[in-house]
Structure 1
Amino acid sequence: MFIALLDIQIVSASLRDIGGALSAGADETVWVQTSYLIAEIVVIPLSGWLSRVFSTRWLFAGSAIGFTAASLLCGFAWNIQSMIAFRALQGFLGGSMIPMVFTSAFIFFDGKQRVLAAATVGGLASLAPTLGPTLGGWITEHASWHWLFFINLVPGLFVAIVVPILVNIDKADLSLLRGADYLGMILLALFLGCLEYTLEEGPRWDWFGDGTIQATAWIAAIGGVGFIARTLTHANPLVDLRALRDRNFALGSFFSFVTGIGLFATIYLTPLFLGRVRGYSALQIGEAVFSTGVFQILAVPLYSWLAPRVDLRWIMMTGLALFAISMWEFSPITHDWGAQQLLFPQALRGTAQQLTVAPIVTLTLGGLAPARLKAASGLFNLMRNLGGAIGIAACATLLNDRTNLHFFRLAEHLNSTNEAMNLWIAGATERLGAVAPDAVLRPLWQITYREAQTLAYSDTFLAVMVCFVLTTAMVPLMRKVAPPSTPSADSH
């Protein structure tokens, strides 16, 4: 699961290197990440049904083998088209493993062990995407982009061999293939696939000003309505939407959604700022954002000590509040911020992630009966990834719109009455000698645009902060969870 989540972001700092090696433009290269996300988000809600059909043991082992093979193919990709296809396959096979780990944690463990298991699984789920850009940048700098995928081979083969030996918590039921809701699967794939495409590509193509985005948005809307109607009326639904009647599950899914916004949006924003404004290389970006993962790991013992002693709701509330404070600490960002200036806000964010995600997992899934866990876990994990997709799209749109707004506001003050600008132009003209006006005005434009971008990043961090402030206030609505005793494996 850690590897599958790591691979979402491991290519983010290295897309330029991959695109250059495969002779692809920026518009094509971005699909190396988008294809993985679309495939992963489609399969996550299907994993509960698939594990009932094939059993957790064989679905997980098969997914691990397939994911490993797809990673090998990615490393040997010969052009951008083959890379995109193999990444989609990798995302589809990796995504099916994620909810099964959450489910298994609640089946294998009970009581206090269950809290620690949830802390481990939740911590890994938020740590993996955080470490992705760091590890990806380091590998690309010291080896080559091919090793972004080859590093999956040894752990992938190990998991594929060990899981069939050690994991036996349920039995396959191939008879479920006969009464399956295949129309629901098609509607779900259309809904999530087109929604993810719309969210990923919308900011780059002016949203509904583009015909393709309009079409995919309509398909997503129709597919979503059709899937919900189908799920609520079918005898054997793919996703347990009725679990949303449980207050803790509904609120927990919402908190998972907001946490996805914070987790993925900040992983998106920070490397983007360092690359565009500071001009950092992949390795420099990785080193600058590394502190988030370090502080999350350091927070694990703190959470493990607090969890048995303090109501999980208040731990989660503290984590959400810390996340909001960390976004506030990001907001004074200036064009010269680097690893040193990012250290404190990232330390807060890393600590917040551990104190937020782990209790959300326990409070949301811990109170459900084991028979409902599989289907509910898929929906819970889907909400986190969906939050990430929507968060990234919203942040990209905000960055674009606010950059334009700030640029025009700054440009309004750059006129002949601005004494500081006149002195700067005079100094630049003296340094450059008698040259065309464009040679002087071009650096001025670049400085103005850089400052407009920086102000836009500040605005976007504040928007994420507002989401977490509102979410923090909703935590008291959750009920305290006393996890049910785990029945024997035979009852699953």
Structure 2
Amino acid sequence: MAKTADKAAPSPAPHDDMEPKGGLFGFFLMVIGMFMAILDIQVVASSLPQIQAGISASADEITWVQTAYLVAEVVMIPLSGWLARVMSSRWLFAASSAGFTIMSLACAMAWDTSSMLVFRAMQGFLGGAMIPTVFASIYKLLPPEKRIMGTVVTGLTASVAPALGPTLGGYLTDMFSWHWLFLANVGPGILITILVPIIVDFDRPNWRLVYKIDFIGILLVAGFLGALEFVLDEGARNDWFESRMIVGFSILSAVSGILLIWRETSIEHPVIELRTFGNRNFTIGCILSFVLGMCLIGQTYMLPQFLSHVRGYSSLQVGEVMAVTGTVMFIGAPIAGKIGHTVDPRKILLVGFAIVSCGLYLNSHMTTEVGFDQLVLPQATRGFGLVLNLVTITAVALGTLPRHLVNMGSSLFNVFRNMGGAVGLALINTQWDGRYDRHYWWIVEKMSDTNQLFVSQMQNMTRYFAQFPTIGGTAQEAAFRQLTLQIQQQASIMAWNDVFLLLAAIFILIMPLTFLLAKPRAAVSGGH
């Protein structure tokens, strides 16, 4: 296969080694665009009831407001590498920003469920190209001494944006209306669309590739990744393979994936250059990025769920807890950069994965009394480990690629991270459901007349509720209902602890992969 891929590989785009223009200011403009694209995945999460009422959607239909965006975005990301070669990175980014902005305005003006879902899908598809283009710009726009900083900024943005989304979305909806979840993108989107093509320029277009476009490859990418994202996102809600729909989409994804590999290794101008995986560090870096994506997306889902449903935290309180990880990552960025210039990246990754695993393990001992003070250490530990890994994995994967493969490599690298997040969420939901049922029935089995603790608690609760004769039913029935709620809460906490422990184990198990990385000629600073 590698031999075929090498033979089929197109020559790099002409004039690709031009002097980059734009510097840090241009880079940060692009990062803002990427931030908006990632933020909009989760910004609707806390406002779905309001959107549902506004567009008269059913409970099943409203979940598609998130799913449509995710599926469309994951299809665009791998295509952006080819599009960057055709249009140039700056014009692709400007077009992506413009499309994202227009569709944001359209979402705010949606009049029913169908229009909202179409606009959300288009918003995700058109905005999806901004994410990998920013990662590629680290190695094509920034000078070598600034690449560690660029990697930290993009990694921090990619991890903070999903965590900030529900909190910011809830605030905008409470203060104004759900329409502002989308209208907030319009002003920054217009500025970015205008300024980026004026300020940034680091590669040239190759419009001749348009005449050799691989339409079949594009359709296969959509079938493979779009169907896979749908299965991972909707599987838990539809009992996985008990659902004919999930089985059908799984078959579509598998068949499309096999045909995609065959197609892209047998034509002269593939839409996805699989020869990029001929670089061992890139391939292993993508696998490590997949696992890191599980933690990045998983932690932004698990802890808010626990804090809001078990501890009853408000959106603002959840945001304060989640901010600890982002703050530590920001403070630890200069340390990660300094270490990255001098230490073997394989050693950094080993330490980083161990630290992340430790942070996850610390979260596996939560109780009903856990609060901000008890969560600071696990969050801070995980944050420092994440920033070490984000910097190093990105540099290892993309920094060793030839310049003309960086755009394609960035696209594939981001696909792995996004799919890691999708697999992580599916794994988390499935494991939580199973562990919750197991713990719930284990506790219930212990509740019998021979259990003195149970008998004593029931008697105390019954005496307490006997003081309130207006309560529906008898005092004993009220006591039993209250005890059932406590059992459900305890089972939920135990299930979350088990999931955190599972993720900690996964990070330990992935550590041996770092030994397969090629020995670096120098410390990682990124880029050839």
| TM-score > 0.5 by shorter chain | yes
Paired residue for 1:78?
111
For 2:495, give the aligned amino acid. A
Is residue 395–residue 525 contact of structure 2 (8 Å, CA) maintained in 1? no
AA of the residue aligned to 1:457: W
Runs of 5+ unmatched residues, structure 2? 1-33
Structure 1 residues 338 and 24, CA gap change in structure 2 (3 angstroms): farther
Of 243, 266, 281, 1:210 maps to: 243
Matched residue of 2:235: which SS?
helix
The alignment status of 1:156 with 2:189, answered yes or no, reads: yes
Aligned: 1:460 with 2:504? no
Deviation of the 1:481 alpha carbon = 5.6
* 1:10-409 correspondence runs (5 A): 10-409=43-442
Structure 1 residues not aligned, in runs of 5+? 488-492
Equivalences for 1:420-459 in 2 at 5 Å?
420-433=453-466, 435-436=473-474, 437-459=476-498
CA contact (8 A) 2:396 2:526 kept: no
Match of 1:471 among 502, 505, 510: 510
Q: Could you say which residue in structure 2 is the equivalent of 1:490?
A: none
CA distance in 2, matches of 1:234, 1:336: 60
Q: Post-superposition shift, 1:485?
A: 10
TM-score by length of 1: 0.93
Structure 1 residues 143 and 297, CA gap change in structure 2 (3 angstroms): farther
Tell me, in whole angstroms, the C-alpha distance in 2 between the residues paired with 1:316 and 1:485.
15
Judge which range, 138-147 or 461-470, deviates more: 138-147
Alpha-carbon separation, structure 2, partners of 1:247 and 1:260: 20
Alpha-carbon offset, residue 415 of structure 1:
1.1
Give the drift of 1:400. 0.7
Q: CA contact under 8 A between 2:159 and 2:296: conserved in structure 1?
A: yes
> 2:332·2:387 contact (CA, 8 Å) conserved in 1?
yes
Match of 2:10 in 1: none
More displaced, 390-399 or 147-156? 147-156
Q: Which moved more, 1:245-254 or 1:469-478?
A: 469-478
Structure 2 residue identity aligned to 1:355: L
1:10 and 1:136 in contact (8 A); partners too? yes
Residues 1:229 and 1:256: Cα distance change in structure 2 (over 3 Å): same
Q: 1:113-152 CA distances to partner (integer Å, 9 max, x unpaired)?
A: 3333333323322232233233334333444333222222
405-414 vs 464-473, which deviates more? 464-473
Q: Counterpart of 2:485 in structure 1: which amino acid? A: Q
Using a 3 Å threshold, how does the CA distance of structure 1 residues 313 and 228 change in structure 2: closer, same or farther? same
Once the two structures are TM-superposed, the CA of residue 484 in structure 1 deviates from its matched residue by 10
From the superposition, tell whether residues 419 and 486 of structure 1 become closer, same or farther in structure 2 (CA, over 3 Å): closer
In structure 2, distance between residues paired with 1:326 and 1:192: 31
Query: Shift in Å at residue 48 of structure 1?
Result: 0.7
Letter matched to residue 363 of structure 1: V
- SS of residue matched to 1:280: coil
Query: Does structure 1 conserve the Cα–Cα contact (< 8 Å) formed by 2:398 and 2:526?
Result: no
Q: Is the 8 A contact 1:110 1:485 kept in 2?
A: no
User: What root-mean-square deviation, in Å, do the aligned CA atoms of Structure 1 and Structure 2 show?
Assistant: 2.1
1:63 and 1:93 in contact (8 A); partners too:
yes
Q: Report the Cα offset of residue 23 of structure 1.
A: 4.2
C-alpha deviation, 1:374, in angstroms = 1.6
Number of equivalent positions: 487
CA deviation after TM superposition for structure 1 residue 30, in Å: 2.1
For residues 300-359 of structure 1, what are the alpha-carbon distances to aligned partners after superposition, in whole Å with 9 as ceiling and x for unaligned?
222233222323332333222211111101100113333332222111222222111111
Structure 1: which amino acid aligns with 2:228? L
Distance 1:132 1:316 in 2: 28
Give 1:446 shift: 1.4
Residue type at the aligned position of 1:342:
L
Deviation at 1:273, TM superposition (A): 1.4
SS in 2 for 1:387: helix
Relative to 1, partners in 2 of residues 1:119 and 1:288: Cα closer, same or farther, differing over 3 Å?
A: closer
Q: 284-293 or 449-458: which moved more?
A: 284-293
Distance 1:477 1:370 in 2: 23
Look up the equivalent residue of 1:124 and give its one-letter code. T
Cα 1:392–1:187 change in 2 (3 A) is: same
Amino acid across the alignment from 2:60: D
Indicate the percent of aligned positions where both proteins have the same amino acid.
40
User: In structure 2, how many angstroms separate the alpha carbons of the residues matched to 1:87 and 1:451?
Assistant: 38
What TM-score, normalized by structure 2, do the two folds share? Answer: 0.87
Shift of residue 168, structure 1, vs aligned partner: 2.0
Offset at residue 191 of structure 1 (A): 0.9
Deviations 1:388-446, CA, capped at 9 Å, x for gaps: 00000010000111101111111110111111211222222222237345433222221
Q: Distance in 1 between matches of 2:320 and 2:62?
A: 23
CA distance in 2, matches of 1:140, 1:349: 31
How many angstroms does 1:29 deviate by? 2.5
* 2: CA distance, partners of 1:471 / 1:284: 33
- More moved, 126-135 vs 378-387: 126-135
Which position in structure 1 is the counterpart of 2:14? none
State whether residues 138 and 286 of structure 1, in contact with CA within 8 Å, keep that contact through their aligned partners in structure 2: no
